[in-house]
Structure 1
Amino acid sequence: MTAPTWQKSSRSTTQGGECVEVAAFSGVIGVRDSKDRKAGHLALTPEQFAALVRCLKRLA
């Protein structure tokens, strides 16, 4: 298995604010804090990730 390609959120800033990165794995989507990559990541199913994004959009 090759290493996943992490992508920073388009809403992240260069001012050192809250940054999230996502990557596709085998059947799951990884979500991690770009400032603390060694802390690990959450592994969400595509359905869980879609629900998370919907919820966050409602809060914005």
Structure 2
Amino acid sequence: MTDEQLALQAVREAQGILEEYLQPRPRNNERVILDRLVEVLERPELLVAINRMQRGL
């Protein structure tokens, strides 16, 4: 998977988590949502890919 594909996949996953959170229902799971977002956005392979893309600019 390319760096761009890894980044796009992470953005899609993060968007899905946020869409789920924004559904109209009682919210008492903010910490769970935050933990899920951090899990997606702090993946080591994603961080390396983003670093490589930034250096390529």
User: Per residue, is there more strand in 1 or in 2?
Assistant: 1
TM range (shorter): under 0.3
TM-score by length of 1: 0.26
Which structure shows the higher helix fraction?
Answer: 2
TM-score normalised by L of structure 2:
0.27
